[in-house]
């Protein structure tokens, strides 16, 4: 019984010492170009990767063209400079749409 209690105490001590990790979720439909390009949410590349996966998924495309991804990211950044208040998903839809 003392072995069980010791093992339980050890497990509890180990889990109690783990740092708490906050779970952060983001509704990408609400992020503006300004927030996206200004690193106000996360690194813009993280969101650009998600956008690429989202739109490629809608197209049924499973191939990633890394050079095209970089070019599309740059095109979106340039567009967002003059459309700062537009939601970034709306900007991506305008630039790239779902048909390719």
Residues 27-83: pLDDT tens digits? 899 999 999 999 898 899 999 999 988 888 888 989 988 899 999 999 999 999 999
Residue 40 is part of which domain span?
25-96
Residue 86 lies in a domain: yes
Please report whether residue 64 resides in a domain: yes
pLDDT for res 24: 79
Q: Residue 34: what pLDDT? A: 95
Q: Is residue 5 part of a domain?
A: no
Residue at 88 is within a domain: yes
- How many structural domains comprise the chain? 1
Residue 100's pLDDT is 47
Does residue 7 form part of some domain? no
Regarding pTM above 0.75, the answer is no
Give the whole-angstrom CA distance, residue 49 versus residue 61: 14
| Structural domain contains residue 13 | no
The CATH number for 66's domain is: 1.10.890.10
* Predicted confidence band of residue 91 (pLDDT cuts 50, 70, 90): very high
């Amino acid at each position: 019984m003392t072995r069980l209690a010791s093992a339980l105490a050890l497990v509890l001590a180990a889990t109690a010492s783990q740092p708490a990790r906050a779970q952060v979720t983001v509704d990408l439909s609400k992020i503006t170009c300004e927030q996206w390009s200004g690193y106000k949410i996360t690194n813009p590349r993280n969101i650009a990767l998600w956008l690429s996966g989202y739109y490629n998924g809608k197209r049924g495309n499973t191939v990633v063209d890394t050079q095209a991804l970089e070019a599309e990211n740059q095109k979106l950044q340039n567009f967002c400079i003059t459309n700062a208040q537009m939601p970034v998903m709306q900007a991506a839809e305008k630039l790239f749409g779902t048909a390719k």
